[in-house]
Amino acid sequence: MELDPRPPRADRERRRFLKALGVGALSLPFSRLLLSSVSDAQAVSSPLRLVVVFNPLGTAFEYWRPQASGSSFTLDFTNSILAPLQKYQNQLIVLDGIDCVPEIKYGDFGHEASPSVLTGDVNKQMAGVRPTVESLDQFLADQPAIGGQTRFRSLELSVGGCKYPERVMSWRAGGVPVPRMLNPYETFQRVFAGYVVPTADAGTVGPDQATIDRAFRQKSVLDYVLADVGRLKRKLGPTELQKLDQHLQSVRDLENGLTAGVLDGGTGSAAPTAGCAPPTAIPDQATWKGLYDEDPNNRIYFDSPTYGSFMFDHVQEWSDLQIQMIAQALACDLTRIVTLQYFEDGVDGGAPWAQPAVPPSDPWYDPHVCTHADTGAPGRSEAMATYQRWFSAQVAKLMDALAAIPEGSGTVLDHTLIFWTNENGEVHDLANIPMVLAGGANALFKMGRWLQYPASGQTPHNELLVSIANAFPGVNINSYGNTATYNWGTGGLPNL
Amino acid sequence: MRGTRYGWAACLLLGACTGRISGSTPSGQPGALLSTRVRLLNNVEYDNTVAALLGDASGPARTFPASDPQSGFSNNATQTVTDLNASAYDGAAQALAQTAVQNLSALLPCSPPPGQEAACAGQFIATFGPRAFRRPLTADDIAGLQGVYDVARSHGGDFTTGIEMVLYAMLSSASFLYVPELGLEGASGSEVELGPYEKASALSYFLLGAPPDDTLIAAAANKGLDTPDQLEAQSRRLLGDPRAHAQALRFFTEWFEIGPSTKDATVYPDYRTLSPSFLKETPALIDDVVFNGDGRLQSLLEASYTFVDGTLNAFYGLAGSLSGSGLTRVSLAGTPRIGILTHGSWLSLHGDATMSSPIKRGVFVRRRLLCEFLPPPPPGLNVTPPQKSEVKTTRQLFDAHVSNPSCSGCHSLIDPVGNGFEAFDGEGGYRNTENGQPIDASGELTQTLDANGSFNGAAELVHRLAQSREVGECFARMLFRFGSAQTSVSTEQELLYEAPTPLPDSYQGLAVMYVRSKLFRRRVLP
């Protein structure tokens, strides 16, 4: 079975297209773009965006959990992990008591939660078992009305970590991990190189003839590639055919980006928000080449001796760059679905950029050791809190970046849902995983709450995935995860 | 101290092992063949292919997403092109084509006068295409590539641009990116023999990680790859190619999980200095055993010599002094070290950041040398980490948790093996004592087919493993997992079923055994 190719774009684009090319220049491959009757109205309202943020290891609940304050709560107290988010308290839901039930019941052990986060499925690396269903971000990316509307169906970004390419959040169906964009320079090149912000006169001033010619030439190459992939589809089993179908879809997406580029400089949106602009801080190629310098096998080791020091020197800059690019990609409607993974599961080694000013004595230098340790050990919670507060600050920076971009009567943040999750719970387990929803999310969630669920270890995060999915227009599902094999229950998260 | 990490995670990981946990297959029964499939080049193969085809050594795959491994090997037949890969392939193909046409005369078989350019483009497609696709072109290929050239010319492109677009199309095509294992077209029945060009590619990527050379293509064209004897002759020729060295090194380093590690600088302040030396030593020994020696696993495990620079010579406490970063072959006779499992590279990666790891080392022996599939842990098992200690040895810390019945099922198989390496600390340094207590490196192998028994220290353990047929079979299976880019018990059963007696025990011998087998030559039709 083939995945659906992306639908044609809105009429308005097509009119621009005709103006740009002139009817005489229109050749057959483009004619399908004229077939849609989607109305202009769709482009006017601001679409909902999703950004999923993941960071590794455990927490210290005494400092993660908000403190009650009258009828409300506060994040502002000594050692508070969520303190950087205090100013956004009314745009948060602190989810206290959500469990990664698939992993708890059927998984390997405390590591490798990332493949389960968005698939709601079981991952057992030691036994060679991978998630079978696609992750929520990929599910939304595949929807014609969501991922199908933008230049990139989804973007997967990363700060640090690529020792284990299979320890990722995003999965295609059938156990295929979706690789992450690690290198900010390459992120910029892929998303923004050659990108021209559409202007009000884009409908009348089309691209020049050389640009159109170039697009035609490249399109003929991609058409050839599509035909060539198709010719491999002979006597093959379903897994192999699925693999080739995925390849076909990826090339079609490239081609759609190309044809849209002829129209409006690369954006998939007929009317990108007023704040759309390429990032001003352009990652430096030479600096980020350092990522690969020490890697003998094309694999980036967080914990190789030299890579570690590169990491320590650049981690904040790395995070800042990726966040800025996410914000602008959303503002320009280049994508609506983003995942941002910090490091990867079970990361080893210290985090000098996020440890107390006076580091407690060994072994608290290492958040991994902290995670494993007895929660009552002196200094453990404070070291853990310092580590986690760094991620909290990154989420705040993401919100700052989105809130700084005007859109409609508000900002891009008003139209974005951020889902931030830890890898582990308090210790190295998968019960009660710290999770936060943030952003205006098109007013689809009542924000400003601290929701506490029973510490039963049995509140499946699958229910949260259902709730997030159903926030998107046109999506109406009742369960998420490998429900053919396991029973996670149905419906969204209660009280959300 | 610092037993915290392993005490906890390891128990969850290895909660219960009942009965024999080996993945060894029943002997004497045929297994299964692989199904028809298409395998994507991995990143190393991509770069080697571009280098062979264009002489372009820029290594564009270096910045591609990392290859998704299977059984620890970067050869993975399930690798799939997602959006990011597609965009990386597309970008690399454009850049490579753009660079290549800057020296057009080196690329083209003709130098067309005006008006004859289309004919020259046709000649380029006819000559370069088969090299890019590693097979003769079909009519569809020719028509498609010609179409790309024509569109380029009719949309503002000059002749050079036309050639550039054709090259871009070739380099981003599936015919370039995949190694097909489909069999001859129109085959029927339940099984199919790979086509001669498919065999040529499969052979070359297996042994060299690179595309077939002219000799191999000529053999494919002239019924030279039809029989096992012919395939063996070509394999032996390729094993003499200089590029066979890097490929063998890739297999062994991925098998033995050799690479950089993380160490706590407060415990192991010299690790950063040692690591580069470690990562030179092991490749040197592998290359020496495989290409100067007999290529046997036993020789790698039991090597009584190694290759050290000044740093390692001092670290290993060897006689004399060496200076500089060059490697010298030295004897290990009379030292506690023997073979690859006592190299700093292996010991440090299979050690913790702050201490040794009987768990990682024991698990390695069981999973990577005995080919056992360790079971998943029982659901719901939770174990409190042991309190840190400044007086106990690492072994004593783990002895405590092995006494826990919910841990001991598996740990009785693992810890007594890993304990054999306890004379080596977390970065591979030799030690007699730990926390003031004498080191106890005695242990026992149990539940193996033919290596059971007690031992004292790494050397005795290594001897047991080196003489085991079960370990020898695991070597065959690991090279097969690498070569076939997949892991499945049923195909490994077929490999051992078809294997000659005695089982070959060298890299070359096992490579040839696989190439001669039905597993290499034939595929099941779905």
Q: In this predicted model, what pLDDT tens digit does every residue of A301-352 receive, in sequence order?
A: 444 444 456 777 788 999 999 999 999 999 999 999 999 999 876 665 667 6
Q: Residues B44, B420: contact at Cβ < 8 Å?
A: no
- How many other β-carbons are positioned within 10 Å of the β-carbon of residue A4? 12
Residues A190 and A212 in one domain: no
Judge whether A392 lies within some domain.
yes
pLDDT at A294: 47
Alpha carbon distance, N-terminus to C-terminus of chain A: 36
Residue A12 has pLDDT above 90, yes or no: no
Same domain for A393 and A449, yes or no, is: yes
**A210: confidence class by pLDDT, cuts 50, 70, 90:** confident
Instruction: Answer whether B84 sits within 8 Å of A181, measured CB to CB.
Output: yes
Distance CA B338, CA B248 (A): 21
The answer to whether residues A133 and A108 belong to one domain is yes
Cα separation of A488 and A467, whole Å? Answer: 14
User: Structure tokens of B43?
Assistant: 């990143």
B261 to chain A, any CB pair closer than 8 A? The answer is: yes
Place of tokens 């360790």: B374
- Residue position matching structure tokens 């691209």: A207
The backbone torsions φ and ψ at residue A245, rounded to the nearest 5 degrees and listed phi first, read -65, -40
Contacts of A192 in chain B (CB under 8 A): none
- Could you say which of A172, A176, A224 has the minimum Cβ distance to residue B173? A224
Residue A85 shares a structural domain with residue A132: yes
The answer to whether residue A387 scores a pLDDT higher than 70 is yes
Q: Is B279 at the interface with chain A, CB within 8 A?
A: yes
Choice among A37-41, A51-55, A474-478, B49-53 with the minimum mean pLDDT: A37-41
Establish if B2 touches chain A: CB-CB under 8 angstroms. yes
Spell out which residues of chain A touch residue B377, defining contact as CB-CB under 8 Å.
Answer: 108-109
**Rounded distance between C-alpha atoms, residue A288 and residue A6, angstroms:** 33
- For A182, the closest chain B residue by CA position comes to B65
Burial class (CB in 10 A: 0-12, 13-18, 19+), A29: middle
* Residue in A218, A239, A362 nearest the CB of B266: A362
Q: pLDDT at residue A10 above 60?
A: no
User: Which chain B residue lies closest to A285 (C-alpha atoms)?
Assistant: B63
CA dist A312 → A46, A351, A354, A394 (Å): 38, 7, 10, 16
Task: For residues A50 and A31, state if they share a domain.
Answer: no
- Res A95: pLDDT: 96
Tell if the CB–CB gap between A227 and B61 is shorter than 8 Å. no
Whether cis (ω within 30° of 0) applies to the bond prior to A278 is no
Integer Cα distance of A439 and B479 in angstroms? 51
Residue A455 in this model has a pLDDT that exceeds 50: yes
Q: Are residues A63 and A104 in the same domain?
A: yes
Per-residue pLDDT, A182: 87
Q: Could you tell me if residue A456 is inside a domain?
A: yes
Does the CB of A477 have a partner CB in chain B at under 8 Å? no
Number of CB pairs, chain A paired with chain B, less than 8 A apart: 251
A42 C-beta neighbours (distance < 10 Å), count: 16
pLDDT per position as a tens digit, A362-374: 555 677 777 776 6
The predicted pLDDT at position A27 comes to: 32
Asked if residue B480 lies in contact with residue B461, where contact means CB atoms within 8 angstroms, the answer is: no
Residue B381, pLDDT score: 47
CB contact under 8 A, A127 and B87: no
Q: How far apart are CA A120 and CA B21, in angstroms?
A: 29
**Interchain CB contact of A172 with B (< 8 Å):** yes
* Chain B interface test: which of A241, A298, A366 (most B C-beta within 10 Å): A298
Contact B36 A240 (CB under 8 A): yes
Inter-chain contact A220–B165, Cβ cutoff 8 Å?
Answer: yes
Contacts of residue B259 in chain A, CB cutoff 8 Å?
A: 296-297, 301, 304
**Averaged pLDDT for residues A135-140:** 97
- For residue A354, give the amino acid letter: A
- Is A120 inside any structural domain? yes
What does the radius of gyration of chain B's CA atoms come to, in whole angstroms? 26
Cβ-defined contact of B260 to A305 (cutoff 8 Å): yes
Regarding beta strands A435-438 and A410-411, do their DSSP bridges make them parallel or antiparallel, or are they unpaired? unpaired
Nearest CB to B61 within list A209, A244, A298: A298
The minimum CA-CA distance between B174 and chain A, rounded to whole Å, is 5
List of chain A residues whose C-beta atoms are within 8 Å of the C-beta of residue B61? 298
Q: Which residues, in sequence order, are CB contacts of B63 under 8 Å at separation 6+?
A: A183, A186, A292, B88
Please compute the mean of the pLDDT values over residues A259-268 and round it to a whole number.
51
Which of A238, A247, A292 faces B63 most closely, judged by CB atoms? Answer: A292
Chain A, window 192-251: residues with a beta carbon less than 8 angstroms from a chain B beta carbon = 209-210, 212-214, 216-218, 220-222, 224-225, 227-229, 231-232, 234-240, 243-244, 246-247, 250-251
Residue A169 located in a structural domain: yes
pLDDT band at residue A32 using 50, 70 and 90 as cut-offs: very low
The reply to whether residue B140 touches residue A232, judged by beta carbons under 8 angstroms, is: no
> How far is the C-alpha of A27 from the C-alpha of A29, rounded, in Å?
6
Let me know whether A227 and A149 are in one domain: no
The predicted-structure confidence for B32-77, as pLDDT tens digits, reads as follows 999 999 999 999 999 999 999 999 998 999 888 888 889 999 999 9
Distance in Å, alpha carbon of B154 to nearest chain A alpha carbon: 9
Domain that holds residue A32: 1-37+208-264
Q: Are residue A220 and residue A316 in the same domain, yes or no?
A: no
Would residue A12 count as lying in a domain? yes
> How far is C-alpha A460 from the geometric centre of its chain's CA atoms?
21
Taking the C-alpha atoms of residue B228 and residue B203, their distance in angstroms, rounded to an integer, is 12
Q: Is the pLDDT of residue A397 over 60?
A: yes
A127 closest CB neighbour out of B262, B266, B376: B376
pLDDT for residue B97: 98
Checking if the pLDDT of A70 tops 90, the result is no
CA distances from A134 to A2, A100, A177 (A): 15, 17, 9
Residue A226 and residue A326 in one domain: no
- What residue of A is the nearest CA neighbor of B260? A304
Q: Which of B262, B263, B272 to mutate to test binding with chain A, by most A CBs within 10 Å of its CB?
A: B262
pLDDT at A444 over 70: yes
User: Among candidates B365, B372, B368, B516, which has minimal Cα distance to B25?
Assistant: B372
Contact B261 A303 (CB under 8 A): yes
Q: For residue A261, what pLDDT is reported?
A: 55
- Look at A244 and B38 and tell me if their CB atoms are within 8 Å: yes
- Higher per-residue pLDDT: A210 or A259: A210
Instruction: Write out residues 388-447 of B within 8 Å (CB-CB) of A.
Output: 388
- Is A271 inside any structural domain? no
In chain A, how many domains are there?
2
CA distance to partner chain B, nearest, from residue A246 (Å): 6
Give the amino acid at A207.
Answer: P
Residue A247 lies in a domain: yes
A484 inside domain: no
Task: Report the CATH number at residue A343.
Answer: 3.40.720
The whole-angstrom separation of Cα A336 and Cα B122 is 44
- Percent of chain A predicted with pLDDT > 70: 76
> Hey, are the CB atoms on A234 and B36 less than 8 Å from each other?
yes
Calculate how close chain B gets to A414, using CA atoms only, in Å: 28
Q: Are residues A289 and A228 in the same domain?
A: no
Residues of chain B with pLDDT under 70: 1-28, 374-389, 400-402, 404, 406
Task: Answer yes or no: do A462 and A405 share one domain.
Answer: yes
More confident residue, A262 or B291: B291
Would the CB atoms of B69 and A209 count as touching at under 8 Å?
no
Residue contact B35–A213, C-beta within 8 A: no
Of A237, A254, A300, the CB nearest to B526: A237
Strand (E) or helix (H) holding A51: strand A49-55
Q: What is the pLDDT of residue A456?
A: 76
Residue B37 and residue A236: Cβ atoms within 8 Å? yes
Q: Residue A426's pLDDT band (boundaries 50, 70, 90)?
A: confident
B380 to chain A, any CB pair closer than 8 A? The answer is yes
Task: Among A22-26, A62-66, A311-315, name the one with the lowest average pLDDT.
Answer: A22-26
Quick one: A407 and A335 in the same domain? yes
Among B13, B43, B165, the residue with its CB nearest the CB of A108 is: B13
Within 8 A by CB and 6+ apart from B203, the residues are B212, B216, B225, B231, B234, B235, B238, B515
